[in-house]
A = this chain, B = another copy of it.
Amino acid sequence: MQIATKHEKFTEPLYLESGRILEPYELVYETYGELNHDKSNVIVICHALTGSHHAAGRYEGERKAGWWDDIIGDGKAVDTEKYFVICVNVIGSCFGSTGPLSPKNPSAEPYRLKFPVITISDMVRAQIKLFDRLGIRRAEAVIGGSMGGMQALCFAIEHPRFAARHIILASTYATQPWAIAFNKVAREAIIQDPSFQNGNYDSKTIKKEGFSGLSIGRMGGHISYLSPSSMYDKFGRIYDEKDGLYDLFGKFQVEKYLDYNSQNFVTWFDPLSYLYITKAINIFDAMRNYDSLEDSFSRIVSKITLISFKADMLFLPSEMKHIEETMLKIGKADLTYYEEIDSDYGHDAFLVEIPKFEQIIMKALEN
């Protein structure tokens, strides 16, 4: 599989939903496979909150491959022998696309809290600009899980003729208060941490010395990504015998897992990006600019494949089902396919239970 990481700079303004402007801006993206001569073999992959454009493959020295490496590659469900796959880092993120730590033109100083609030639609519009520049007018599919699914749904509604099909996993039509509440814990933990300094923290220092607000927020996130059942299977009630059960700060295995992963998180993710991206997720509502969800979905002309996971505690199967039901209600049954995967894993099933749903993606791409 041919992999490339590329940057693209845009000097023209990106008009944001808020009425503000991002100018200039930059996008970093990865591609897998080869673009055919008429540029008709494109598949767009959209990443989730803490994901990045590094969706597949493994660079030298990397411990782990890209986040969806099991699904993207030669002979895999998203077959790079056939397709040219692109994954773009969203604006607002901290992996190379313009975000709150990017310089605020014309100064060299980072935006920080002066970065504009962005929306899922803005993320998608920025990607469309990139595809325009690359001469890509049409894609075979847009595929995404979680916040990536929000982007895919947004592509389907707001750029209905861009892709022939949209595959949405573990996502929703509008972020519900339950998910906003999980985000709230993280957002407050970040903002209230004295290290946050109203957004003026030093990135190098927090990466080295830790930033408990972001760590605590990530712990809350981890709860929402797993499920009671997957936690039980992973950790049970095992505790550290060394500490003993009667040590106030002694730890159960699940606590050690949360400690390790949340402390580690600070070394690779940025607090301001976390604030801006969770804000975009909170704002997401596919009917916001329309009279109703029916009205919004009436714009859709592509195939919509919906994959939910039984034990998803963040975006419930019922939310995905509601997308299907609304499509059926407006007479788009022929465009719609919904399947709930029997998985106890939780939200992260879209990242780890790939054998349970890759066939659905393959079939959707064949149609």
Contact = CB atoms under 8 A, between A and B. Distances in A.
Interface of A: 17-20, 113, 116-117, 174-178, 180-182, 184-185, 188-189, 191-192, 194, 212, 215-216, 219-220, 222-223, 226-228, 231-232, 234-237, 245-249, 252-255, 258-259, 275-276, 279, 282-283, 285, 313, 316
B188 A248 contact: no
A185 B219 contact: yes
B189 A216 contact: yes
A235 B18 CA distance: 23
B177 A235 contact: yes
Contacts of A185: 185, 216, 219-220, 223, 258
A178 B228 contact: yes
Contacts of A174: 237
A198 to B, nearest CB: 11
Contacts of A17: 246
Shortest beta-carbon contacts, A-B, top 8: A18-B246, A192-B212, A177-B254, A178-B228, A177-B231, A177-B235, A117-B246, A185-B219
A281 to B, nearest CB: 12
A164 B246 CA distance: 32
A277 to B, nearest CB: 11
A181 B237 CA distance: 11
Contacts of A175: 237
Contact of A181 (B18, B176, B191, B258): B258
A130 to B, nearest CB: 23
Contacts of A216: 185, 188-189, 192, 216
Contacts of A226: 178, 181
Contacts of A219: 181, 184-185, 188
Nearest to A283: B245
B184 A234 contact: no
11 contacts: A18-B246, A20-B246, A176-B231, A177-B252, A178-B227, A180-B254, A181-B223, A181-B226, A181-B255, A185-B220, A189-B189
A20 B248 CA distance: 13
Interface centre among A18, A189, A258 (most CB of B within 10 A): A189
Contacts of A18: 245-246
Nearest to A224: B223
Contact of A194 (B194, B222, B276): B194
Contacts of A235: 177
Contacts of A191: 249
B220 A177 contact: no
A286 to B, nearest CB: 11
A181 B245 contact: no
